[in-house]
Amino acid sequence: MLRYFNPIGAHESALIGENPKGIPNNLMPYVTQVAVGRLKLLSVYGNDYPTPDGTGVRDYIHVMELAEAHLKAFQAIGSEKGGYHIWNLGTGQGYSVLEIIEQFQQITGRNVPYQIMERRSGDIATCYAATQKANEELGWVARRGLEEMIRDAWGWEKKNLPI
């Protein structure tokens, strides 16, 4: 069982990426769609969490890291005799919503207007992966950083959707 933490990004070729129908449920496609003008502004849910800037902190992982982890997991289960395994797939560190917006703006040079909304019911302040088991048992470690995640997501948006 592979437990994903907040996948973002796209293939570096910009041939494969995320294009949700309607208003995106995930942060990065929402950000990119605001940046290209498909959506007017980004809703940020809560700015009063006990985090450095008050917004929720999540562990974002590049989608290509997940593809690589799948291959490692397939190899691992193919070499063992039975058993049930659970591996967390994330970077082990979190970024706040405002950090994502700020980094996106710096990397792309595009403005991302946003509005602060009330917290959503059930949201927590922080959530990030404990990746030690996946690191040790699969020999897998997330290597791509936030800059690469943003750059690849933006590359997909620019190449595949009208700007």
Q: Running along the chain, 163 residues long, what does each successive block of 10 average in pLDDT? A: 93 84 88 92 96 97 96 84 84 96 97 96 95 94 96 91 59
Q: Please give the single-letter amino acid code of residue 34.
A: V
The overall pTM is greater than 0.85: yes
Q: Please give the single-letter amino acid code of residue 38.
A: R
> Backbone phi, then psi, for 72, in 5-degree steps?
-60, -40
69 SS3 class: helix
CA-nearest of 71, 95, 89 to 131 is 89
- 124-162 pLDDT, tens digit per residue, is 999 999 999 999 999 999 999 999 999 999 999 988 865
Helix (H) or strand (E) holding 135: helix 132-138
Q: What residue spans define the domains of the chain?
A: 2-160
* Fold that domain 2-160 belongs to in CATH: UDP-galactose 4-epimerase; domain 1 (3.90.25)
